[in-house]
Amino acid sequence: MLEAYCARRSHVAGDQVTLHLSADAPRVQVTVLRDGRVPQPVLSKDDLPASRHAVPDDVVANGCGWPVAWRFPVPESWASGLYRIELSAGDERAEAFFVVRAARPRASILWVLETNTWNAYNFYGGQSTYTSGDKAYASGAPRVSFQRPLPPGFLSLPADAPRIGDLGPRDKILPYARWALAHGYSPWTGAASWGQWGRRFQDWLEAEQVTVDYATNADLEEFPVLLDGYRLMLSVGHDEYWSWGMRDTVEAFIARGGNVAFLSGNCSYWQVRLERDYTQMVAFKGAVDDDPVLGTARERHNTGIWSHRLTARPENQMTGLSFTRGGYARMAGATPGAAGGYTVYRPEHWALAGTGLSYGDQLGAAHTLVGYETDGCEFQIEYGRPVPTGADGTPRNFEIIGIAPATLFSHDSAPRGLYPPGAMTDVEVVAEQVLGRHDAEAVQRFVHGHAVMGSYVSPGGGTVFSAGTTEWAYCLADPKVACITRNLLARLG
């Protein structure tokens, strides 16, 4: 047995990183690498003393509490980035991570990594926010600690690992789940990991010689001035869990002219609270009625979806889009035979310059750009083109570039076994939290959605671009997707 974690997820030069580990072996070999196309070793220790430590009964909520095994400083010479810690002892292998952020901006672009989502899907200790005893998927453990090891697959995956957004058979068994179970990984690693989206986007940035600084989700709340000095903030992959303080920081940045590119899907869907000095995340989710803030002056900070009727702060006020109007695409029974790309309605949009796309063309279909989880908005067709109604919180000046069918999982469309008997499906949870009921008529308001790609400009001049899909990083081999990404970075960053 060999397991490890870092006490904090984010550091600047001068900070001390503390590594906590538990091992059967008396000595462990450790290498610290800045991840990238070619990972760069920056520190190593060949004979770190180690011992085995018990896993507390309350580990899911309160963490492992293991003693410090190694403490080392972050020097000024370490560039901002994600740093993996590789550990080995005989045949045993483990990984941990931390992020080095810049004390002052060294680039014009800040990439904020979706570390809250990694924690939500981390099942170490037998529970995550998705699984807990007889409750599953939308209602798991309501409090999850960041001070737990990430299981194998969260930080790195084999080169031949499939993506969860791949088109699979119509039998509702996901190809990634089959692969993960056959190779000793949890199926949840396909839904939340650096190995799925982050590493690919980082490789592309490095190939394009684009320099960015890095930070974590919690940094947006802990350091409200984090975005000062940057022109563009990036969100990539599956950036699902956001706190009130995170929203405040990003929305203030947009209001004063800052730009954001959400190259992500299911973005800012659940509200969470970061507590215990940012070491614990509170997420009642589908069991939000049990959240103790309900009925108090802080009930808008409940940990249901951001579109919850009591919260009155839908995420599309910030991103332009919402998972409540999108859903799943090209997986299990959710639009399994769809094209996998966006139908283009506004080829004149600046983001599409140089792509050669025309009205009605498909963008990204060959690479399944529209897959896994997608975000959309309520819209109507005016003179043959989609226009947001604004009724769901999307800014009225949001320009819809392209759309594609998507659907929230119901009992009919979900993978087999996703919901235990009696559990509400995704579409029922949305109807219940938005409308206060989940009868057939309420469900019909949300079950037929669309992935949407587009942008808007805030009154303060900040531009927000939303890709509306988790799969953007997987499709950068598509010349047109790569061209759009270059346009975004050039114009906004």
**For residue range 388-410, what is the model confidence (pLDDT) as tens digits?**
999 999 999 999 999 999 999 99
**Ramachandran angles phi, psi of 48, nearest 5°:** -70, 120
- The 10 Å Cβ neighbour count of residue 297 is 7
168 has a pLDDT exceeding 80 = no
Q: What is the C-alpha separation between 354 and 322, in angstroms, rounded? A: 28
Q: What is the C-alpha separation between 455 and 442, in angstroms, rounded? A: 29
pLDDT score, position 409? 94
For Cα atoms 322, 134, 239, give the angle at the middle one, nearest 5 degrees.
25
Mean pLDDT comparison of 139-153, 169-183, 407-421, highest-scoring range: 139-153
Q: Which residue has the higher pLDDT, 116 or 170?
A: 116
CA atoms within 13 A on the CB side of 447: 17
170 has a pLDDT exceeding 90 = no
Class of domain 2-230: mainly beta
174 has a pLDDT exceeding 60 = yes
123 has a pLDDT exceeding 90 = yes
> Distance between alpha carbon 235 and the CA centroid of its chain, in Å?
8
Q: What is the C-alpha separation between 368 and 477, in angstroms, rounded? A: 11
**For residue range 471-492, what is the model confidence (pLDDT) as tens digits?**
999 999 999 999 999 999 999 9
pLDDT score, position 66? 98
384 has a pLDDT exceeding 80 = yes
Domain definitions of the chain by residue range: 2-230
The sign of the torsion formed by the CA atoms of 5, 89, 154, 100 equals positive
pLDDT band at 136 (very low <50, low <70, confident <90, very high): low
Phi-psi category of residue 315: left, alpha or beta, with phi > 0 → left and psi -120 to 50 → alpha: alpha
pLDDT band at 172 (very low <50, low <70, confident <90, very high): low
C-beta pairs of 199-205 under 8 Å, 24+ apart in sequence? 199/35, 199/156, 200/473, 200/474, 200/476, 201/236, 201/237, 201/263, 201/472, 201/473, 201/476, 202/35, 202/36, 202/37, 202/82, 203/36, 203/37, 204/473, 204/476, 204/482, 204/485
Across 445-468, average pLDDT: 98
C-beta pairs of 203-206 under 8 Å, 24+ apart in sequence? 203/36, 203/37, 204/473, 204/476, 204/482, 204/485, 206/36, 206/37
pLDDT band at 321 (very low <50, low <70, confident <90, very high): very high
pLDDT score, position 331? 87
266 has a pLDDT exceeding 80 = yes
pLDDT score, position 135? 53
Across 165-187, average pLDDT: 78
Contact 378, 389 (CB under 8 A): yes
- The 10 Å Cβ neighbour count of residue 122 is 26
271 has a pLDDT exceeding 70 = yes
Q: What mean pLDDT is reported for the chain?
A: 95
pLDDT score, position 176? 86
Its pTM stands at 0.97
Please give the structure tokens belonging to residue 289.
């009625």
345 has a pLDDT exceeding 60 = yes
- The 10 Å Cβ neighbour count of residue 300 is 14
Exposed, middle or buried by CB within 10 Å (0-12, 13-18, 19+), for 108? middle
Across 136-151, average pLDDT: 88
pLDDT score, position 362? 98
pLDDT score, position 410? 92
Could you tell me what percent of the chain has a pLDDT over 70?
A: 97
pLDDT band at 269 (very low <50, low <70, confident <90, very high): very high
Tracing tokens 């949407």 back to the chain, one arrives at 452
pLDDT score, position 300? 98
Across 105-112, average pLDDT: 98
pLDDT score, position 416? 77
For Cα atoms 387, 393, 394, give the angle at the middle one, nearest 5 degrees.
35
Q: What is the C-alpha separation between 288 and 278, in angstroms, rounded? A: 21
pLDDT score, position 167? 67
Q: What is the C-alpha separation between 215 and 243, in angstroms, rounded? A: 15
